[in-house]
Structure 1
Amino acid sequence: MKFTLDDIRNDLELYGRLMRPEHVYLVSQTQGEHIGIGVRESSTPIAYMVVRISREQSQASIIALEVEKSYSGYGLETILLQFLEGKLKEQSYHYLTYDIVVQKSENAAREFLQPEDGWDSGQVLSTVYIADMEELKSAKWMNTIRAPLHFRTFSWAELTEEKLVSIQEGCNRWYPEKFSPWQEGYDIDHQLSVALQYKGEIIGWLMVKRAASNMALFKSLFVREEFTRLGRAGVVLVEGLKKVLENQEIRYAMFVVEKDNAAMLQMVRKHFTPYIIRRKKLISFKKSIL
């Protein structure tokens, strides 16, 4: 059986049939930081990998590695990894990471991530919680947590260009890049996403997108530190939940909480525990390639 490796950006129409829409979008951005590597048998795409490149950190991060089920067991993951590592070494990159989401109790180990090949044992970056929106309706705090005087919430779609520019200019000044509202790319739902304002200044947000037809994904919850201590993150979250509840199609909510996002972790433990129906974890494996 003969396999061919491709730069996906040169053949998006072919590989687009195999890839998830968000991965197609990332690879299609010619000025972006993502690349795609595909494997095909003859003219049939059978596997692909999406990689985020960070030249400043001399690191590449695999954010997707998918193989058609009928081709599992052919070692395509290893073929893709070896090809990628070769290209990275040519450009003097130092590190490669691979991020994977697994069930809370699932073993994250993979055959192609072996210690003898230089991979570490992995570390948990974040926890993924899935909650039942119907059950959340009955939570008392949904009606008791409200915006105090001088605080207002808006849907992201209501923000003016001036406000958006102000937020962009604040990146790495009053909020870290990893909490940027633009991190999630093209498919953020601007009607469901929420911004929090204090005395005319945007101080926080909750970005929401559709993870499935019946599920909303809550990501990038951020509130400036001095207001987080006052519990204002709860105001943003409740407003976002209420907006999602207005959509009759959405039954489930997914929350991705980074391990160092103490405010969000505390909120989940305090308010959401009775309504969580599933937990997953995002684990990152790393190796040195020089």
Structure 2
Amino acid sequence: MTDIYVLQPLEIQPYEHLALPDYIHYFTQNDDLSTRISVGASINGDPAALVLAEIRIIDALGILHSFGIAPPYQSEALEQELLRFTVKQFKELGIRSLQITLQPGHTVSFPDSLTACDWQKDEGAVTHYQFDCLLINSHSKWSLDIPLPKSYSVHDWQDITVKQWEELKEADWYPYALSPFESYSFGDIDQQASLWLRQGKDIVGWIVAKRSNEQFLYWSSMFIREDAYRKHVGIPFIQRMIRRQVALGIPYGCFDVNAYHQQFQRFVNKRFLPYIFHRQEVQIFSKIL
């Protein structure tokens, strides 16, 4: 007999082995429960499957982070039943669009199950990069101080006024997907690592970082306003981010690049390739409810 139900944080422990390790910690905490959804399935009383999902508040997008089924119970039928149940939870919360990134741990049949449940594969490819911060920091091209243009400066995440915060929330010059206000995926923003870029008193860029584990810092959002980018602030800003990460004792970093962000893709190809030790093309599926 198969039972599928919403799990509370204290009920997840028997299912933890079915989750991607980067996410499970944030779903066993008792904070922000309204934005996190955990779905479990048991078969004849045995933990069989676990889905970890979250709501990205800024654009009301549902993100399925982890979708795991124990090997003895893997089947397209169970995959589709779990997908339908999870979608129903989002619908009841008024969410109208969903997204999932396929992970190496997913079954071979999972893309077919998504398609059968009316999920659409996104056209734009996403590339996931993992890089060595210590190697970058020791390389002569990056170890020397690279000055910022006059009037530009880098600041800690906490170094922002209420006025700057409110003005940035109202701004229309950055895309939602790269907003500094999103708070999903790998938990909360790491305020020790994340940085602002300012021109005078105006914020013109940021690097939002989240600690996925002791070894990796996930750069979840990087953005520089177009007029500032043309001033060649990208390299010195990233250099300062690298140094901050090294100072925090986190050796490796990772980020994702969408195919349509061609400008940043060219930057990665030109400046970062020698330091990248893992590169993986990932598929993203979306669903409009």
Please confirm whether the aligned pair reaches a TM-score higher than 0.5, indicating the same fold: yes
Aligned residues: 279
Unaligned runs of 5+ in 2: none
Q: Distance in 2 between matches of 1:218 and 1:92?
A: 29
Cα deviations by residue, 1:28-74 (Å, 9 ceiling, x for unpaired) = 53543x43322234665442223456899997553321234564458
Checking the alignment, whether the CA contact within 8 Å between 2:168 and 2:203 is kept in structure 1 is yes
Q: Distance in 2 between matches of 1:123 and 1:131?
A: 26
Asked whether 1:196 is paired with 2:197, we answer yes
How far off its partner does 1:152 sit?
0.7
Look up the match of 1:130: 130
Look up the match of 1:12: 9
| Inter-CA distance 203–109: structure 2 relative to 1 (3 Å threshold) | farther
Cα deviations by residue, 1:226-248 (Å, 9 ceiling, x for unpaired) = 11122223232111111111233
Matched position secondary structure for 1:178: helix
- More displaced 10-residue stretch of structure 1: 227-236 or 238-247: 227-236
1:18-37 mapped onto 2 (5 Å cutoff): 18=16, 20-24=24-28, 29-32=32-35, 34-37=36-39
Matched position secondary structure for 1:212: coil
| Inter-CA distance 159–209: structure 2 relative to 1 (3 Å threshold) | same
- More displaced 10-residue stretch of structure 1: 11-20 or 225-234: 11-20
Q: Distance in 2 between matches of 1:137 and 1:112?
A: 43
How far off its partner does 1:95 sit?
6.1
Cα deviations by residue, 1:256-278 (Å, 9 ceiling, x for unpaired) = 22333334222211111111110
Q: Distance in 1 between matches of 2:181 and 2:61?
A: 21
Percent identity between matched residues is 21
1:50 to 49, 52, 55: 52
| Inter-CA distance 231–101: structure 2 relative to 1 (3 Å threshold) | farther
Look up the match of 2:148: 147
Superposition RMSD in Å: 3.6
Q: Distance in 2 between matches of 1:112 and 1:24?
A: 30
Matched position secondary structure for 2:158: helix
Q: Distance in 1 between matches of 2:61 and 2:153?
A: 40
2:101 to 99, 102, 107: 99
Q: Distance in 2 between matches of 1:150 and 1:56?
A: 31
Look up the match of 1:62: 64
Look up the match of 1:76: 78
The residue type paired with residue 5 of structure 1 is I
Q: Distance in 1 between matches of 2:94 and 2:26?
A: 29
Q: Distance in 1 between matches of 2:140 and 2:252?
A: 18
| Inter-CA distance 220–60: structure 2 relative to 1 (3 Å threshold) | closer
Checking the alignment, whether the CA contact within 8 Å between 1:195 and 1:236 is kept in structure 2 is no
Q: Distance in 1 between matches of 2:83 and 2:56?
A: 17
| Inter-CA distance 214–179: structure 2 relative to 1 (3 Å threshold) | same
Unaligned runs of 5+ in 1: none
Look up the match of 1:220: 221
Checking the alignment, whether the CA contact within 8 Å between 1:108 and 1:283 is kept in structure 2 is no
| Inter-CA distance 148–59: structure 2 relative to 1 (3 Å threshold) | closer
How far off its partner does 1:153 sit?
0.5
| Inter-CA distance 259–28: structure 2 relative to 1 (3 Å threshold) | farther
Checking the alignment, whether the CA contact within 8 Å between 1:49 and 1:62 is kept in structure 2 is yes
Checking the alignment, whether the CA contact within 8 Å between 2:9 and 2:27 is kept in structure 1 is no
Checking the alignment, whether the CA contact within 8 Å between 2:58 and 2:181 is kept in structure 1 is no
Checking the alignment, whether the CA contact within 8 Å between 2:193 and 2:244 is kept in structure 1 is yes
Q: Distance in 2 between matches of 1:168 and 1:114?
A: 34
Look up the match of 1:174: 173
Q: Distance in 2 between matches of 1:65 and 1:267?
A: 33
Q: Distance in 1 between matches of 2:94 and 2:163?
A: 41
Matched position secondary structure for 2:211: strand
| Inter-CA distance 66–124: structure 2 relative to 1 (3 Å threshold) | farther
Q: Distance in 2 between matches of 1:152 and 1:174?
A: 20
Checking the alignment, whether the CA contact within 8 Å between 2:83 and 2:117 is kept in structure 1 is no
Checking the alignment, whether the CA contact within 8 Å between 1:101 and 1:281 is kept in structure 2 is no
Q: Distance in 1 between matches of 2:32 and 2:206?
A: 25
Under a length normalisation based on structure 2, what TM-score does the superposition of the two structures give? 0.78
1:152-163 mapped onto 2 (5 Å cutoff): 152-163=153-164
